Structure 1
Amino acid sequence: MKGKIYVTGLALATLSLLSCSRDNDPAPSSPAATNSVNDFVWKAMNSWYYWQPNVPKLADNFKNSADYASYINSKTPDGLFYSLLYDYGNTDRFSWIENNNTIIPASKIAEIEKLTGFDYAVYPKDNTNTSAVALVNYVIPGSSAANAGIVRGDIITKVNGSPLTISNYSQLSQDQFTITRAATAVITSTGLVTTDRAENISITKTNIDENPVAFYKKYNYGGKNIGYLVYNGFKSDYNDELNAAFATMKADGITELVLDLRYNGGGSLETATALAQMVNGNYTGQPYVYLDFNAKHNDEDGMDYLTNTVKTYNIVNGHPEQTGQQNVNSLSLSRIYVLVSFQTASASELTVISLNKYVPVTTIGNETYGKFVGSISLYDSPASDYTSYSTRNTAHNWKLQPITFSYYNKDKDPNPSGGILPTYDINPYRAINNIKEFGNVSDPELKKALELISGQTILKTAENPVTYSNRNLRFQPRNESKGLVIEDFESFSKRKK
């Protein structure tokens, strides 16, 4: 049985000893003693943080100043970490710190081993951008939400007895809360009009090991075998399940693929590279993604290449341990259709911009999130420049996950200034009454993909009139922490040389 994993969908990065240490600067001139954990936080960030040159308190000479000890001793480790981030919440929306495998955001502690069991997106209910509803994207089997009867497509109108708003929707991430769902929902020219069910459903977070390979179905339209795969997180400890899904599609004779990444906020770089091989597989050894680190680590800049094998892992004590290696199952597809949304981020966006260099990628849905940066895990192991888990200081369990690189496709094309604009734009708000179980062709984005592939009209769906803008879409909190992680930094470095 697999171990517990991040609520964010990121596997912990296993980073090993580098060839030499960069932590060889002279000791601070101040005689004051420094907090050892905070000293680790500052030094690791000074070395690896992507925006280190933009943060005055991370300047190299600050460590030798008289203010160094008093500054870092005045804060908790997490307080220090967040004070060192560049333009936090805007430029850097993605870095975080952990203690005892628990993510500590800037404002509250979130239990990373616990999930409510449902993924959601929050939308403004009308033009006031105050009232809101939450649309349930999917429900994890066996979770508290599933046991309570919550299903994909449910519209949540109340949390803890109060109407849902842009201000209180974060209560949907509490350890315990109640919700009320809509009985009816009608889109009008001024917004969404709902009536509530007579219910007050209790939801409790529980330990869940979520399988990101959420759904697969085969269709046959226009004489073509079309696969539909819902993939909700690039999680390395489920590499074997992803590879098995492609083996199933290969056995089913799939020649066209609709890959649903609408709720996939990212994860492992290694898994993202393997997915590209599973889609095509004819470009083994070719460059796939270019990584750019800060000036202190220019020797780590370089390409990650496509390979015909994928590693398998289990999570042990919150850390991935390799269990084996498999040959990649490839469909040898000449094109692919990808469903995207404003919750599609990082490794999912990498899949679109990098795979498109080898096979045409048609995107359907909403503009993506726009996260073209990633991270490695940093531990209190100065001899390895803070990258070794095995030689870390075990006197504490703090670990950093700051942004350490930006990524580009193999040709180093500039990334979009925002998210990736879809080939076919479908506003998810217009479809709010057509979100049923996965695979139901009333889903307008899936319907559009099937029609593009087959050349047939699959299903006529009634359109509701909408005359106001719905671009102020909200990211649900759980997905904001997802990202792109290098699983094994030592192997990555060797592979580039």
Structure 2
Amino acid sequence: MSTPKFPPTSTAFSRLFASAFVALLTLSACGGGGGSSGTSTPVANNPTPTPTPDPGPTPDPILADYTSVQNLCAKPRTGVDAEGVPFPDRQGTLQDEMKFLRGWIDKTYLWYNEVPTTVRMADYTNTLDYFAALKTNATTASGQPKDRFHFTYTTAEWDAISNQSQDTGYGVTWSVNSVTAPRNWRIAIVQPNSPAAAAGLQRGDMLTAVDGVDFVNSTDAAQVDQLNAGLLPANAGENHTLTVQRNGATVNVPMTSAVVSIVPVKSVKVIDTPTGKVGYLSFEDHNAASEQQLIDAFTSLKNQGATDLVLDMRYNGGGLLYIASELAYMVAGPSAANKTFDRPVYNDKTAPGAAVPFLSTAYGFSAAANTPLPYLGLNHVTVLTSPDTCSASEAVINGLRGVDVKVDLVGGTTCGKPYGFTPVDNCGTTYFSIQFKGVNAKGYGDYADGFAPTCAASDDMTHALGDPAEGMLAAALSYRANNTCPAAATGFASSVQMRLAKPAAKKIAIYPKTWAR
């Protein structure tokens, strides 16, 4: 399972979820080391002792060729990966793994010169905690951490998420207020052909219990373990019961976990309005499977005569950047072909990278390579957004604006991630560390605090996605018609910002399979 969107973390979702559920706050002091006590012996004619400056901890040595220790592992894997390739692991030590991380960060991290020198290998007993400390502590203009996107996956998890578009669970995306009590978790998305869909779970259902344990208010550690076991099944075939509240009624829903295929493109339709046919699609993940689904969706919209588009990316945290480029081309059409969609800007140790153009043919993730892409050829598009609209989704907005397509945003401020990674695998862990900022054809990429909406609207879970009466879509159609933003819809309004906890990746975007946004 993946990490909730608040806050990004380098640990697994289940670890964060469990500790946050019982409101455990662990403060660890990493750093320190030797140093003087600050006293000295007085000398003649100088009765006042002169303290010796504390030099602080000795910084760890940094390997210029960090690749020399890559795949040297404390616990080497044996066998082959998902594609049948033998693991490259060789016997090494924990320190070898840490030396690799330190050298890789120093060479490629966008803010390598802001990593605290007090972070020392000797103070850590595992690579995950050590890696989590190897980042800047600076903040943005709004006061939030400058680097909120520093995390890891097991390599097996990452391969399954990025390549197979699969997850073990029920096929539910939750909209949550908090992982600590009192909890208000409601279903935002139900994946088609999933256990949740088969059991009749619906968008807007509020979770009240898991296997009979109070989900809203439980804080007891043993009960929290039960909640985690039922809500985050580790294996397919597990039987649990979710209790939800729906329209004032309590419904017990028996569930059996399964390997669920994530369907990123949903609810493709054309809405007839007095001023023309408006296409709509919900797009939730820039993964490999989405390539063919987007091609099919735009072909359908084009064939139905859509002359405008509402692109719903309120739940899309990112993914493959080449998919974002293809999507932007399918909106704009040939006028954007081969223009700069996104250009990476690296640190001063890294050679400039080639820009990603607006791609007019399929890369070949799930569609046949070099297939010409369908397009609507629009000079205007409306995007539904929220704080969970992130990374590659924001690149679509920024890239289109870079070639003068008018992009109206309806919903909430986006997450603010103009940055990207080149993920690296080492000893069974895939590490993600920011290595560049992406800019559009006009050189703009300064949206670390997100894109503000043109028209603010709340997520309305009293209606299905794609229903013209749903709050955000209704606001988009109204704004399109009269350029006036209606009063924000308040379906299940909460005094605390609702965010996603979903069975998918910690959202990023990739150039094309290894460079990430």
TM-score (norm 2): 0.69
Judged with a 3 Å threshold, the aligned counterparts in structure 2 of structure 1 residues 359 and 481 are, in CA distance, closer, same or farther, namely same
Please give the secondary structure, in 1, of the residue aligned with 2:363: strand
Correspondence for 2:473: 446
Is this contact kept in 1: 2:177–2:499, CA < 8 A?
A: yes
Judged with a 3 Å threshold, the aligned counterparts in structure 2 of structure 1 residues 301 and 309 are, in CA distance, closer, same or farther, namely same
One-letter amino acid of the structure 2 residue matched with residue 94 of structure 1 = F
Query: What is the aligned residue count?
Result: 412
Correspondence for 1:114: 168
Correspondence for 1:330: 375
How far apart, CA to CA, are the structure 2 residues paired with 1:305 and 1:481?
25
Q: Choose the corresponding residue for 2:126, options 67, 76, 80.
A: 76
Q: Choose the corresponding residue for 2:244, options 172, 181, 187.
A: 181
Please give the secondary structure, in 2, of the residue aligned with 1:121: strand
How far apart, CA to CA, are the structure 2 residues paired with 1:251 and 1:296?
49
Q: Choose the corresponding residue for 1:123, options 177, 184, 187.
A: 177
Higher relative contact order (CA 8 A, sep 6+): 1
How far apart, CA to CA, are the structure 1 residues paired with 2:488 and 2:507?
35
For structure 1, the residue ranges without an aligned partner over 5 or more in a row are 10-20, 60-66, 105-110, 185-194, 315-321, 381-395, 493-497
Correspondence for 1:368: 414
How far apart, CA to CA, are the structure 2 residues paired with 1:148 and 1:267?
29
Is this contact kept in 1: 2:205–2:246, CA < 8 A?
A: no
Is this contact kept in 2: 1:340–1:366, CA < 8 A?
A: yes
Q: Choose the corresponding residue for 2:392, options 329, 335, 347.
A: 347
TM-superposed deviation, 1:295: 2.2
Q: Choose the corresponding residue for 1:437, options 464, 471, 477.
A: 464
Query: Alignment RMSD, CA only?
Result: 4.0
Deviations 1:55-79 (A, max 9, x none): 13599xxxxxxx76x56xx533333
1:146 aligns with 2:197: yes
Judged with a 3 Å threshold, the aligned counterparts in structure 2 of structure 1 residues 33 and 246 are, in CA distance, closer, same or farther, namely closer
Correspondence for 1:91: 146
Please give the secondary structure, in 2, of the residue aligned with 1:56: coil
The structure richer in strand per residue is 1
The structure number with the bigger radius of gyration is 2
How far apart, CA to CA, are the structure 1 residues paired with 2:360 and 2:218?
46
One-letter amino acid of the structure 2 residue matched with residue 422 of structure 1 = P
TM-superposed deviation, 1:440: 1.7
The 5 Å alignment of 1:45-56 reads: 45-56=105-116
- Percent of aligned pairs with the same residue? 23
Judged with a 3 Å threshold, the aligned counterparts in structure 2 of structure 1 residues 477 and 173 are, in CA distance, closer, same or farther, namely farther
Correspondence for 1:312: 364
Is this contact kept in 1: 2:116–2:135, CA < 8 A?
A: no
For structure 2, the residue ranges without an aligned partner over 5 or more in a row are 6-62, 70-91, 139-143, 160-164
TM-score (norm 1): 0.71
Deviations 1:111-130 (A, max 9, x none): 974243011211379xxx95
The 5 Å alignment of 1:22-421 reads: 23=65, 35-57=95-117, 70=122, 75-87=125-137, 90-102=145-157, 113-123=167-177, 131-160=182-211, 161-164=213-216, 171=228, 174-175=232-233, 178-184=241-247, 195-197=248-250, 199-281=251-333, 282-297=335-350, 299-301=351-353, 303-313=355-365, 324-357=369-402, 358-380=404-426, 396-413=427-444, 415-421=446-452
TM-superposed deviation, 1:209: 2.4
Judged with a 3 Å threshold, the aligned counterparts in structure 2 of structure 1 residues 92 and 207 are, in CA distance, closer, same or farther, namely farther
TM-superposed deviation, 1:26: 9.9
Please give the secondary structure, in 2, of the residue aligned with 1:309: coil
One-letter amino acid of the structure 2 residue matched with residue 346 of structure 1 = S
Correspondence for 1:483: 508
Please give the secondary structure, in 2, of the residue aligned with 1:451: helix
Please give the secondary structure, in 2, of the residue aligned with 1:215: strand
Q: Choose the corresponding residue for 2:455, options 399, 424, 445.
A: 424
TM-superposed deviation, 1:406: 1.9
Is this contact kept in 2: 1:45–1:58, CA < 8 A?
A: no
How far apart, CA to CA, are the structure 2 residues paired with 1:486 and 1:8?
24
Is this contact kept in 2: 1:101–1:112, CA < 8 A?
A: no
How far apart, CA to CA, are the structure 1 residues paired with 2:303 and 2:295?
13
Please give the secondary structure, in 2, of the residue aligned with 1:149: coil
TM-superposed deviation, 1:308: 1.6
Is this contact kept in 2: 1:222–1:456, CA < 8 A?
A: no
